[in-house]
Amino acid sequence: MDHFKGVRPIFAINRRADVVNLSLSGPSTPLLARLLDAALRKGATVVGAFDQNLPNGGFPASHPGVIAVGAEPASMAGPMYVAPGRDVLTTEPGGRWGLVNGSSYAAAHVSGLFALLKERREPLQGGLVRMSPNTQWVDPCANLLRLSGPCDCTCARVATSAAARH
């Protein structure tokens, strides 16, 4: 389990986490697979980063019940959600800012969105736009706007325009 050193899903399971983000990928391990099954049985939403360089997106994204998330732009095929994963703004040591890329950051976007929706007891809907038979684009703005109601902002105009196109 070297690839997952430091990952402690049992902590999340014992604390009854609603959403578990696994922004990592590697070979399948029996112990982590059992822990994922336990989390899913307890009703947790488990999100995993889809690695386009590994078969079926790698593990844990390929594990049954785990929500696989790839980074936009989506050039890979498979059943997954796609979220922003390019030039994602983040903090860096020394109080600086930087840009990062990858499906790990896309998975974090989706995990955060699921956490917000679970907190509001709302299903994920209306903010997904189908890109291919198996891939769905996650639109956090549209989902959050749906939850908060109408507003007079650029985001609302963009979300309304995007929804009208699909």
**Cα(51)–Cα(89) distance, integer angstroms:** 21
Q: For residue 77, what are its two tokens?
A: 């095929």
Could you read off the pLDDT tens digit of each residue along the chain, which spans 166 residues?
A: 344 555 556 777 888 889 999 999 988 989 999 999 999 999 999 999 999 888 888 999 999 999 999 887 665 556 678 888 889 889 999 999 999 999 999 999 889 888 887 887 766 554 444 455 556 667 666 666 666 666 555 554 444 444 444 4
**Cα(143)–Cα(124) distance, integer angstroms:** 7
Identify the pLDDT of residue 110: 87
CATH superfamily label, 2-140: Peptidase S8/S53 domain (3.40.50.200)
Identify the pLDDT of residue 161: 45
Residue closest to 138 by CA, chosen among 157, 159, 154:
159
Q: 10 Å Cβ neighbour count for 77?
A: 13
Domain residue ranges in the chain: 2-140
Identify the pLDDT of residue 10: 75
Identify the pLDDT of residue 163: 44
**Cα(85)–Cα(106) distance, integer angstroms:** 5
Query: Is the entire prediction scored with pTM above 0.85?
Result: no
Identify the pLDDT of residue 53: 87
